[in-house]
A and B are shown apart, each in its own frame.
Chain A
Amino acid sequence: MSDFFSSGWSVYIAAFTLAGIVACLLLLWVAARRKVMANDNTTGHVWDEDLRELNNPLPRWWMGLFVLTVVFSLAYLVFYPGLGSYGGTLGWSQRQAYDAEVERLQQQVAPLYARFAGMSAPQLATDGQAMRIGERLFINNCSQCHGSDARGSKGFPDLTDTDWLHGGSHEKIIETITQGRRGVMPPMAAAVGSPEDVRNVAQYVLSLSGSPHNAFAAQVGKAKFSACAACHGVNGKGNQAIGAPDLTDKVWLHGWGEQAVVDAIQRGKDNQMPAHADKLTPEQIRVLAAYVWSLSQSSLAAAKAP
């Protein structure tokens, strides 16, 4: 009841509820009796010249049903919340019911996950049950961004290739899922120089992976790449410790071509994956990470293809 600053509302609701129940009983009592013409058992009303209303009494148990609903509602109000802020003698709440259900389900699946506890990623990857669980967890929690086939999209990394921003070991993947990741590249235009310099650096970056580029501009841009080398390394191989992408492969997370690279240099990037520590249990994350790990193992992928 934190929305209200006095108990007045609670009393108001409780009074209104009880008054409603009393009104129901009153209505029942009043409406159960009716004036009937003594000599012909009709109500004495005549419509359309000869249409009369006959008194055909309902069985008394029918009235009992009405009374039963009133008894039920009173009992309900004693046991469960309903009378203003009164919580009921059972202390039931939606929050508690939800928590209890989650607890119950976790206990149910605990033995399942206990079996996986001692298994390494390669062992999990060959365990059919673990992989089915992993796939479901992936579909429910990861596919929204990475796609249901885990091949990602622009801005969302492909998890089936061997190009890892933060490392592709089972432990690293667990860390990524648990804590989330944030890939930040500051706007580098000022450090690189003029717009011309930026374009030249972009051409150099394209040349690193052997993508189509202007060789002369790339040659000119090479000198300015020193501004990028702090993170991406002198040879552009990237740095998994800080999540700096490898620029020498043909994986273009944020778009391919000069304009995309120029945009990245000028505006920087801030790409974030949310942490899942509070959504999934550590046991679930272990199985899920093994599933993700298995996707990039070409030998396993071939065996697992649908």
Chain B
Amino acid sequence: MSSNGKSAVIPITPLHVAAANEPELVSLYEKTAKIYPRAVTGRFARWRWALVWLTQLVFYGAPWLEWNARQAVLFDLASRRFYIFGLVLYPQDFIYLTALLVLSALCLFLFTAVAGRLWCGYACPQTVYTEIFMWFERHIEGDRIARMRLDAAPWQWNKLWRKGAKQGAWVAIGLWTGITFVGYFTPIRELVPAITSFGLGPWESFWVLFYGFATYGNAGYMREQVCKHMCPYARFQSAMFDRDTLVIGYDTQRGEPRGSRPRKVDPRAAGLGDCIDCTLCVQVCPTGIDIRNGLQFECIGCAACIDVCDQVMDKMGYPLGLIRYSTENGIDRGLSNRQMVSRVLRPRVLVYGAILAAVGIAFIVSLASRETFKVDVVRDRGSMARIVADGRVENVYRLQIMNATERAQRYAVSVEGLPGISVVANEPADIGPAQARWVPVRVQLPHESAAPLAGQSNAISFRIQRLADTEHAARSVSEKSTFIVPR
């Protein structure tokens, strides 16, 4: 796309200048041109690489950590236990995953409202893996021009080995990513030897290949098309933008009219702005846009154009920041950094921040005060109640006691809520580390208490106590249920 105006947000491009304003039948699909982003260095590129290292050290490294003689982070789907360092989570704890996703979404809202597409530009896996894949591409095939020449060249030895080496590197990263991903669900120290001895199960093989292929395809080929056509976040982020959101902006007033000029010429005297129209900002753009056309939905906020333009400005001896992080208001009204910062605390940001803080605190408090065991009470459905010796009324329950610690524990069950109600033949239940067990429990009510309650369903509560051991004090939880007295 080329520019046809100073302030047009969406450029309207003429197809054929000569044609009159006549309708013409065109296809709504077109072959997308391959983008050859030019290598870029600078402040923001360093930030991106820092985040690449950080996120990938965590992703590739975490499955190899050990904790309590097991994998520190392991989502064991087969036995339905999820280990995150000291935490043992049951499927019943799924609410924490929900909370985590809510928190992530709110973080995204807040960051986007304040500073635009920070996530997209620096930390999103699509960006991170594309960066890694492009690093290999650049070191094997060369930079932008070399790659374009290579693609245009006929298939000869040079092209063959370079393309082959690149594919080899890409496939290797893809597969290792797939293995690491599956390593969160199957212990990775068993998974890797299983691969070398061809002992991988069918599902593990599928997910290694699927995730590996997705990484290879998305980071090697789809790249900016994922952001432009597939990612929902890219589209709904505009709802969080306003005119005080930090975006990557081109200072039109300062840059226009653009044009090339010798370094020694004073641009003002020549009637030119600061933009020398070198098009480097377009060449480095991973989504292939021209930032000088203004804010566009394709811009992922990677700041590559800032880095490269600053280098050009430096060489020309002009002030830096012709393209810079700024706000729409900032560029239009020429606000200083301090003025822009003072506009950060606006209602939208405060609301996002307040909700984020509230949910975050609730999440942490709830996780910290979480009981290390859980109980589900299930009434027997077949026989509601029965009369036993001395006219006592008996109800039967099954208690599933879930031990969320990695030590064997003993649990005692008692019941309260009706006069004289008691648990029969009650001995503490032993439950192994991270195990769950169904414990049948009989509850009896004496005849005197039962008689006035005939035909009623009565609220009772079970009290399940984890008995104290040498290191830990006793804890107890209550679970509600009902006690039925027959007519």
Contacts and interface: CB of A to CB of B under 8 A. Distances in A.
B396 A149 contact: yes
Contacts of B440: 148-149, 306
Interface residues of A, number: 38
Contact of A153 (B20, B30, B225, B383): B383
A279 interface: no
Given A33-B27, A41-B14, A59-B32, 10 more contacts: A31-B28, A37-B23, A38-B22, A41-B12, A57-B30, A59-B31, A144-B382, A148-B396, A148-B398, A151-B386
A151 B23 CA distance: 84
Given A57-B30, A59-B225, A42 B12 contact: yes
A145 B21 CA distance: 82
Contacts of B384: 153
Contacts of A154: 386-387
Interface string B271-285: 000000000000000
B380 interface: yes
Nearest to A43: B23
B429 interface: yes
A298 B471 CA distance: 36
Given A41-B15, A151-B396, A306-B439, A145 B25 contact: no
Contacts of A116: none
A54 B381 CA distance: 63
B382 A58 contact: no
Interface in B4-57: 10, 12-17, 19-32
24 contacts: A35-B23, A35-B24, A38-B19, A38-B23, A38-B24, A40-B14, A40-B21, A41-B14, A42-B12, A44-B23, A55-B26, A58-B29, A59-B225, A60-B29, A139-B398, A143-B380, A143-B382, A144-B381, A147-B382, A148-B440, A153-B383, A156-B382, A306-B427, A306-B429
Interface in A116-164: 139, 143-149, 151-154, 156
B14 A39 contact: yes
Contact of A145 (B15, B24, B382): B382
A27 to B, nearest CB: 13
B465 to A, nearest CB: 15
A38 B21 contact: yes
B425 interface: yes
* Chain B: interface size category: 35 or more
B235 interface: no
A34 interface: yes
B26 A33 contact: yes
A62 interface: yes
Nearest to B442: A149
Interface of B: 10, 12-17, 19-32, 225, 229, 380-387, 394, 396, 398, 425, 427, 429, 438-440, 442
A60 B31 contact: yes
A59 B398 CA distance: 58
A149 B383 CA distance: 10
Contact of B21 (A34, A39, A147): A39
B19 A39 contact: yes
B119 to A, nearest CB: 23
A59 B23 contact: no
A154 B396 CA distance: 14
B28 A38 contact: no
Interface string A51-78: 0001101111111000000000000000
A148 B386 CA distance: 13
Nearest to A305: B427
Nearest to B14: A39
Contacts of A63: 29
A32 interface: yes
Of A37, A60, A148, A153, the most chain B CB neighbours within 10 A belong to: A148
Given A41-B13, A62-B229, A306-B439, A36 B24 contact: yes
Contact of A147 (B14, B27, B380, B438): B380
B380 A148 contact: yes
Given A39-B20, A41-B12, A42-B12, A146 B382 contact: yes
B25 A59 contact: no
A32 B28 contact: yes
Interface string A270-306: 0000000000000000000000000000000000011
A206 to B, nearest CB: 16
The 4 A-B residue pairs with the shortest CB-CB distance in the complex, in nearest-first order: A153-B383, A38-B19, A57-B30, A35-B23
Contacts of B29: 32, 57-60, 62-63
B139 to A, nearest CB: 28
Nearest to A63: B29
Nearest to B24: A38
A59 B229 contact: yes
A61 B230 CA distance: 12
A15 B12 CA distance: 46
B22 A37 contact: yes
B232 to A, nearest CB: 15
Contacts of B229: 58-59, 62
B12 A38 contact: no
A59 B27 contact: no
Nearest to B394: A151
Contacts of A156: 382-383
Contacts of B32: 59-61
A57 B229 CA distance: 11
Contacts of B382: 143-147, 153, 156
Contacts of B13: 40-41
B25 A35 contact: yes
A145 B15 CA distance: 79
A152 B383 contact: yes
Contacts of B427: 305-306
Contacts of A60: 29-32
A147 B396 contact: yes
Contacts of B438: 139
A32 B19 CA distance: 23
A44 B22 CA distance: 9
Contacts of A55: 26, 28
B16 A38 contact: yes
B423 to A, nearest CB: 11
